[in-house]
Amino acid sequence: MHMADALLSPGVGLGFLAASCAALALSARRLAPRLQQDSRLPALMGVLGAFVFAAQMINFTIPGTGSSGHLGGGMLLAILLGPWAGLIVIASVLLVQALFFADGGLLAWGANVFNLGVLSCFVLYPLVFRPLCGKGGQRLRVSMAALISCTLAMMLGAFGVSLETAISGITYLPLAEFLALMLPIHLAIGLVEGGVTAAVLAFVARRHPTLGAVPLQNSAVGTVAAFILAALLTGGVLSWFASSHPDGLEWSITRLGAEHLLQQVPQDKLAQQLASVQQATSVLPGYDTATPLPASGMASAGTSLAGVVGAGVTLLLVLLLGTALRRLRKPVP
């Protein structure tokens, strides 16, 4: 559900960039005291960011549609880390994807952060997940809350993409028809994400019985190691088997007969300048899917490299951000 620059006008793109940056600034201020109290939190944030990056590489087929989907990850991060840390981590994942892999536009980065991060961390986590989860952290309630919250997060994000595209007014995608395609396909994608998220939470809850009631606190070395291993296996191996079908956004655009928008070069000067920056920084654009692996037509020789490198860069970026935020000494009332 990563938006391309071709869908957004500069005004809408910059407006959502401002909104997302304001949310990130608030998250940084709120998170700083917790980082000062928990020296291991930056490492946990980095590892979970690496895992979400790798998980987003795996597109799963939606049967009977010719479409596919992938995890958003915002709800999982909000549940495991809390909304403040969760937003910073998902924003870092999206930045690495945009800069190094040309996945999502730079002008659209603020909108992507808003759709995949702000809505999950600031809206659905406090208003849906926490009330459904309750205070005890019972596993069944946590699982059901995760399933419902992830499904709603994916659909709300899809609604945001459709509305932002319509407000921009630079495409001829009619809002009603666009929503009629986007919402049902992302309902299916959200249900899968909810199931995967519930399974991950059930695994983590074995070591952290209060998970759901509160974010992870002083996470054990074993939990960190498990997510490192999961990130390496997911990005380096499981990504070979990702679906080749277009994701829900691409599928919806294609069904409306607007395939050219997926490859269209933005006409606005600002968007063109940002596209030039992205072209210069993208070391593995499209995750380098040009060379098939031996005895397999499902992936490319660059897929494993992209998965491991992207996860490593995300880990490093989040670690640096977490370390920098620990130096913010001003207390938050």
Q: Are 136 and 305 in contact (CB under 8 A)?
A: no
| Residue 286 resides in a domain | no
Nearest to 151 by CA among 234, 72, 56: 72
Q: Are 116 and 89 in contact (CB under 8 A)?
A: no
| Residue 167 resides in a domain | yes
Q: What is the mean pLDDT of residues 255-263?
A: 78
- Side-chain half-sphere CA neighbours of 161 within 13 A: 31
Q: Are 168 and 267 in contact (CB under 8 A)?
A: no
Print the domain residue range for 117.
Answer: 5-39+52-213+244-269
Q: For the chain, what is the mean pLDDT?
A: 87
**CATH number, position 64:** 1.10.1760.20
Question: Is residue 329 exposed (0-12), middle (13-18) or buried (19+ Cβ within 10 Å)?
Answer: exposed
Beta bridge partners of 211: 214
Indicate the number of domains in the chain: 1
- Name the pLDDT band for 196 (thresholds 50, 70, 90): very high
Provide the pLDDT for residue 266. 62
Percent of the chain exceeding pLDDT 70 equals 91
Nearest to 154 by CA among 83, 61, 249: 249
Whether pLDDT at 54 is above 50: yes
DSSP result, 48-81: HHHHHHHHHT--EEETTTTEEE----HHHHHHHH
| Residue 90 resides in a domain | yes
| Residue 254 resides in a domain | yes
Q: Are 121 and 30 in contact (CB under 8 A)?
A: no
* Backbone φ, ψ for residue 292 (5° rounding): -65, 145
| Residue 93 resides in a domain | yes
Question: Which residue in this structure is represented by tokens 């595209």?
Answer: 165
Whether pLDDT at 329 is above 80: no
| Residue 232 resides in a domain | no
| Residue 321 resides in a domain | no
pTM: 0.92
Q: What is the mean pLDDT of residues 59-81?
A: 93
| Residue 328 resides in a domain | no
